[in-house]
Every structure is written in C-alpha cells, then in structure tokens.
Amino acid sequence: MKKFVWTRKKKSSVGDKVFTIVNTVILTIFVIITLYPILNTLAISFNDGTDALRGGIYLWPRLFTWKNYQTIIHKQNLLTATEISILRTVIATVVQLFVTALLSYVLSRKNFIFRKQISLLYVLTMYVNGGLIPTFMLYKSLGLTNSFWVYIIPGMVSAFNMLVIRTYMVGLPDSLQESAEIDGAGHFTIFLRIIVPLCKPVFATIALFIAVYQWNSWFDTMLYNRMRGEFTTLQYELMKLLSSVTNNSSNAETMKQASNQVTPASIRAAATIITSLPIVCLYPFLQRYFVTGLTIGGVKE
C-alpha cells in the first residue's frame, strides 16, 4: 500500500488555508445538493398529501401521516410487483454472477487457444447489437415475452462484467492454479475451489451491479410484460405513478384522491422511498469493495 501522507508544515501558507476552505465549501455544497432532494422526498412521503400541495415542505413533514404508505400497502398490484422485483433480483444476480464468472475463468486462462476469439466475440457485443426491434422479435420467437424469464435469460452473460472479473482473475498468482493442475484437478474444481474464494471482492462488486441493475429495470417490463399484470415490477409501477402525476395533475381522479388526504404526488414520494430503501441499506456495506474490485485499467487485451 503506497499512501501519500501530507507532510504538515509548522505554518501552512495562506494559499494553503484558502484552498482548504474553498475545497470544504465546494464539497459541502455538493453534499447538500446530493442529499437534499432525497430528504425532501422523505419528508413529503410522511406529509399529508393535500397539505403538501401548498408547498413549503423542506426537511421535515408539516402534517405527519402514515396514510401514503398505508395506501401503497393496500394496493394489491404494488405488492405483487414488489414480489416480482425481489424474485427477479435474487435469481438474476445468482445466475448471472455464476455464469459470467465461469466465462471469465475460461478467458482468464492465458494458454487457452480460443481466448482471443471468444473475448472478441463478447467485447464486440458492447458496441454492436441488433437493436431494439430485432431483439424484440427474437425474444418473441423464443417465447420470452409475457414471461418471467425475460428478466433472467437475456443478459445472462455481460461482456463488461466479464472484463472486470477476468482482469481480477488474471491478477491472481498463476502458481496456485498450476499446482492444482499438477495435483490433477480439473477446471471445474480449480474454478470452484481456488478461484471463487479468491474472487470475493470482485464478485461482491459485480453482484451489487447486477442486483442494482435488476432492481432498477423497468424498460423490459414495459416492452415485454406490459400485457401480463402478474409480471410487472416495482419500478414499472412507479413509472406509471410518475406519469400519472405529470400528465393529469388536475383531473377528476386527483380531486377524488385529494379528499382522501393522499395525492398521486404524495403516494409517489412514498413509493420512491420504499423502492430506494433496499439499495440505500445495502450499498454502504459493499462500498469497501468498490475501489479494489473495480479496476478496469486492464480492459486492454
């Protein structure tokens, strides 16, 4: 670990002090700009909906209520959507991580004769793809539309994740694998027994990437599972709430709900908080892996 320790001089210069102050001010503003909108949404989610329309709610609810959250819990489609979101996130993360790691292992073997060709086959997918419509038709012909599996099977192997994992694997000492090979271990054994335990940091990072991506997806729901209510995801339902807020802020439904002390806007605030909660809780724990796990400096073949 090389680390630079600032050598503190006995008297720091004026320029130095000015720099520190300016830096602190800029970063404080940055933190406020990042946090305020989220805290504001939190406050609105706990505020009476009709009251919130008057504005002036900043960091604290003015008329505290659980009503917004209660309304969401009583909406049946939001509950099933939550189940689907959790299910897709868990299954996709496990499957994608395992499959991508296996490919990364194969492509991290320096003497593998088709290493270059298969790497290129996948790296090209980051830049070339059939596009929305041919992909849509492929999924349709494979029977993936109107099914849960459209969330899992496409994108099972991602070139970018493969590159990150492979870079990490290439960095592991060769001698470990060589000695296992001499002991007669097959590739599956080497992969499971030696590589996987050593790759925990990078796996944690990639698992987080996949999980967040899956949890946040809505476009695939809109495209492939719009017709089937039972497979819609939480984000998609949130999207529908969002568009109902932007498009008809003064229509009859809003008025009806307004008499109920909840408004589409206050429900959306509550749904936003619920949707982002798992991520906000999870990511600080995985944070320590980010920097060590994510070194794409070795993207170059």
Partner 1 sequence: MEVTKKRKQNVINDKGPKISWREIRKQKELILLSIPFVIYALVFYYAPLGGWIMAFQNYKPKGGLLHSQFVGLAKFKTLFSNDVFIRVIRNTLCMGVINLVLSFVFSIGLAILLNEVRNKRGKKFVQTVSYLPHFLSWIIVTGIVLDVLSLETGIINQALVALHILNKPINWLAYPKFFWLIVGFANVWKETGWGSIIYLASITSINPDLYEAASIDGAGRLQKIFHITLPGIKPTIFILLLINVGNVLNAGFEVQYLLGNGLVQSVSQTIDIYVLKYGISMGDYSIGTAAGIFKSLVSIVIIFLANKAAKMAGEERLF
Among positions 63-102, residues that touch partner 1 (CB under 8 A) are 102
DSSP string, 85-139: HHHHHHHHHHHHHHHHHHHHHHHH-TT-TTHHHHHHHHHGGGT----HHHHHHHH
Query: Which of 68, 235, 263, 266 touches partner 1 (CB under 8 A)?
Result: 235
Which of 175, 159, 182, 176 lies closest to 107 in space, CA to CA?
159
Under the binding rule (CB under 8 A), the answer on residue 156 touching partner 1 is: yes
Query: Which of 7, 76, 175, 259 touches partner 1 (CB under 8 A)?
Result: 7
Which of 30, 37, 33 lies closest to 269 in space, CA to CA?
37
Which of 101, 98, 111, 213 lies closest to 168 in space, CA to CA?
101
Under the binding rule (CB under 8 A), the answer on residue 11 touching partner 1 is: no
Q: Whole-angstrom Cα distance, residue 125 to residue 85?
A: 26
Query: Which of 173, 184, 197, 284 touches partner 1 (CB under 8 A)?
Result: 284
Under the binding rule (CB under 8 A), the answer on residue 52 touching partner 1 is: yes
Under the binding rule (CB under 8 A), the answer on residue 182 touching partner 1 is: no
Applying CB under 8 A, which part among 48-56, 69-77, 165-173, 254-262 lies near partner 1?
Answer: 48-56
Query: Which of 94, 115, 185, 201 touches partner 1 (CB under 8 A)?
Result: 115
Under the binding rule (CB under 8 A), the answer on residue 60 touching partner 1 is: no
Under the binding rule (CB under 8 A), the answer on residue 178 touching partner 1 is: no
Under the binding rule (CB under 8 A), the answer on residue 121 touching partner 1 is: yes
Task: Look up residue 239 and give its DSSP letter.
Answer: H
Per-residue tokens: 22:
């300016």
Query: Which of 87, 94, 95, 154 touches partner 1 (CB under 8 A)?
Result: 154
40 and 59 Cβ atoms separated by less than 8 Å: yes
Query: How many binding residues for partner 1 (CB under 8 A)?
Result: 99
Task: Name the one residue in this structure whose structure tokens are 């602190």.
Answer: 24
Applying CB under 8 A, which part among 61-69, 164-172, 175-183, 274-282 lies near partner 1?
Answer: 274-282
Per-residue tokens: 239:
């999207």
Under the binding rule (CB under 8 A), the answer on residue 258 touching partner 1 is: no
Query: Which of 216, 244, 254, 257 touches partner 1 (CB under 8 A)?
Result: 216
